[in-house]
Amino acid sequence: MNIGIVGIGGYVPEKRMTNHDFEKFLDTSDEWITKMTGIKERRFAAPDEDTSDMAVRAAERAIEDAGIDKNEIDMVLVATSTGDHRFPSVACQLQERLGLRQVPAMDQLAACTGFIYSMVTAQQFIQTGVCKYVLVVGAEKLSKIADMTDRNTAILFGDGAAAVVMGQVGEGHGIKDFQLGSDGTGGEYLYDRKEDHMLAMNGREVFKFAVRIMGDMAQKTVSEAGLEPDDIDMFIPHQANIRIMESSRQRLGIDKEKMSVTVDRYGNTSAASIPLSLLHELEKGTVKEGSIIVLVGFGGGLTYGAITIVYGK
């Protein structure tokens, strides 16, 4: 059975937070932020707009794009680190707000790798025949856990959501290989502080880990799929930092034009970054029916993962 993406949708808030906006209250500059991260702006959700609100809008668009009835959805998976509440899960909120049947629904916490983890989880449920269609959402409101007094982390993160419907696809399409892993010894490098639940990060150590693991996972999934780097039409890394992304692209050995870059417009949206980038490339026409794409990410945990997939129904 070939399992892949049959529908996709996304949503980003209206408010743009530019680098110049941060200059007003932090000791930083547009030039420095752009040079170090590649970010020019990011979106911030409104005070009354939470993770589930963005997830609903992305999910509705994905279901519409899939051309299926919402009652055909057999499971809801949401990748997020910033749910509205500790519980109920965003997935359960989606099940109710979308008016779905009382299907299984759960959040998956793998930080920025969460969307890849959730895609693979969906694949397993469909492959075994338990589900026909699974709704997979990556959604984050990172602005609510970003320490706006810390110039090293506040500038990095943005809000947004994107969703896919996964199901059986045609011959030659779908997921060809996936790689998942974790290294809990690095958990201390990226975490939420107990005292105020704000995000904290050892940027140097996270950078070192990401540069190595993103390139390694990209190479491994391409090789295990029986492909060569020249076969890849689009490389979609987690949009954390342009320097990390460039390093992994070079390690994989593909042309610069084949790497998706949305970090400049959205910043790091964690679990939403990979599907938002995929949607961006689809809208541009750089990813289309039959395109071979590689998704790769890393995140708090530390977690990491990669997928090689042939796009199309």
Which of 92, 131, 173, 238 is labelled catalytic?
A: 238
Classified by CATH at the fold level, domain 174-310 comes out as: Peroxisomal Thiolase; Chain A, domain 1 (3.40.47)
Classified by CATH at the fold level, domain 3-168 comes out as: Peroxisomal Thiolase; Chain A, domain 1 (3.40.47)
User: 92 catalytic, yes or no?
Assistant: no
Domain ranges of the chain: 3-168, 174-310
User: 71 catalytic, yes or no?
Assistant: no
Average pLDDT over residues 185-212: 93
Mean pLDDT of the chain, nearest integer: 96
Quick check: pTM over 0.85? yes
As a whole number of angstroms, the distance between CA 177 and CA 219 comes to 12
- Taking only the tens place, the pLDDT of each residue in 252-306 is 999 999 999 999 999 999 999 999 999 999 999 999 999 999 999 999 999 999 9
User: 112 catalytic, yes or no?
Assistant: yes
- Same-fold call for 3-168 versus 174-310: yes
- Taking only the tens place, the pLDDT of each residue in 15-50 is 999 999 999 999 999 999 999 999 999 999 999 999
Which of 19, 92, 112, 131 is labelled catalytic?
A: 112
pLDDT at res. 183 = 96
